[in-house]
Amino acid sequence: MPTVFRQNLMKALQEACFIILLAVAAGLAVNLTRTDSIPFVQDWSAESRLSEDDGNSLAISLPEAEALFRENKAVFLDARDKALFDEGHIQGAKSLPWYEVDDYFQQVVPGMDRETPVITYCDGESCNLSHELTLFLKNMGFAEVRVLVNGWTVWTENNLPIETSDK
Amino acid sequence: MNSSSRFFYHSARLVLGAVFIYASLDKQCNPWAFSQAVYNYQVLPDALINLTALILPWLELILGFCLILERWMMGASSLVAILMTIFMGLIIFNLARGLDINCGCFSTNPEEGPMDKLTLARDGLFLCLALGLAALTLYKKNIYNKNQIV
């Protein structure tokens, strides 16, 4: 039996290699022929991901965001889960969790002026929730929506005002 | 192979085959959206994200057809078990570190809810099926003798 198992294992390895080669060839070849192909290798840095087609960046720097916060000229939207928002968020921010955007949209958005600058944030360099929320809001007609990359972390690291939902 | 093993073997390969084919379809149609889902897992270097997004759906599709058509079963069932183990590991890893991302398992729609314990339970079931199928395929001496399993 061990010999049979070893033989089967070798056969499995050969077949697996063949299947993988087939998938690699098909995946790469089909991508070359389709109209919506993607590059084989791409820059996934935050700057690159947040660049719009016209080259403008959706990202806002911390000093710019802080200035708008101090002058009370922007609405901050927290794209993280509501529980994380309740534990702590940028002072005055509203919760609009990306994964429950349909539920929270009616509570948050109707009172907002679409010309007022909006700053979205989540947590982590590669967190995509605020980016998705930004694209969604721009699509809904908001004129100026920007992403504060790694927002919660950079905000708290710089000891800027925060609050919890209990206060 | 006794009748219950035979029943499990055929059920598992048909169920997993259908699941893998279904899982590959939306990813095939939306390579850009799937590359975003792969990126969101935050486990691969940048250079491998798009390649994974391009190749994985085809691997799932080919494996699905292999299982349903009972072709290259040893390789296919082993690969399915390995892939399901990796998927489970990734889900556990990301749930443990509290990453709020969608699974990207069957849909590339970013508005789909984040993965949760239900995703884990579902994939756990598929993993059990995949491991059982691979074990049956690799251990049984005459699994390829159709006269004995059909």
Q: What is the pLDDT of residues A25-46, one digit of tens each?
A: 999 999 999 998 999 998 887 7
CATH homologous superfamily of A46-163 equals: Rhodanese-like domain (3.40.250.10)
Average pLDDT over residues B109-126: 82
B108 at interface of A, judged by CB pairs closer than 8 A: no
Per-residue 3-state assignment (H helix, E strand, C coil) for chain A: CHHHHHHHHHHHHHHHHHHHHHHHHHHHHHHHHCCCCCCCCCCCCHHHHCECCCCCECECCHHHHHHHHHCCCCEEEECCCHHHHHHCEECCCEECCHHHHHHHHHHHCCCCCCCCCEEEECCCCCCCHHHHHHHHHHHCCCCCEEEECCHHHHHHHCCCCEECCCC
Q: Which residue in A117, A120, A141, A119 sits closest to A129, CA to CA?
A: A120
Q: For chain B, give every domain's residue range.
A: 3-139
| Total-model pTM | 0.77
Q: Which residue in A16, A24, A40, A14 sits closest to B58, CA to CA?
A: A24
Look at residue B148 in the predicted model and tell me its pLDDT: 44
Q: For chain A, give every domain's residue range.
A: 1-42, 46-163
In DSSP terms, which residues pair with B102 in a beta bridge?
A: B114
Which range (B35-44, B84-93, B138-147) has the least confidence?
A: B138-147
Look at residue A25 in the predicted model and tell me its pLDDT: 97
Which whole-number Å values give the CA distances from A72 to A49, A75, A116, A145, in the listed order? Answer: 28, 8, 10, 15
Whether residue A5 and residue B139 make contact (CB cut-off 8 A), yes or no, is yes
Whether the pLDDT of residue B99 is over 90: the answer is no
Look at residue B108 in the predicted model and tell me its pLDDT: 75
Q: What is the pLDDT of residues B37-84, one digit of tens each?
A: 898 888 899 999 999 999 999 999 999 999 999 999 999 999 999 999
Rg over alpha carbons for chain B, rounded to the nearest Å, is 16
Whether residue B74 and residue A8 make contact (CB cut-off 8 A), yes or no, is yes
Crossing angle of helices B73-96 and B117-139, in 10° steps, is 150
Confidence of residue A100 (pLDDT cuts 50, 70, 90): confident
Whether the pLDDT of residue A115 is over 70: the answer is yes
A22 at interface of B, judged by CB pairs closer than 8 A: yes
Question: Which amino acid is it at A165?
Answer: S
* DSSP annotation of B106: S
Whole-number percent of chain A with pLDDT over 70: 98
A42 at interface of B, judged by CB pairs closer than 8 A: yes
ipTM: 0.89
A83 at interface of B, judged by CB pairs closer than 8 A: no
Q: Residue B70, by phi and psi: left (phi above 0), alpha (psi -120 to 50) or beta?
A: left
Measured between CA atoms, how close is B125 to chain A, in angstroms?
23
Whether residue A132 and residue B79 make contact (CB cut-off 8 A), yes or no, is no
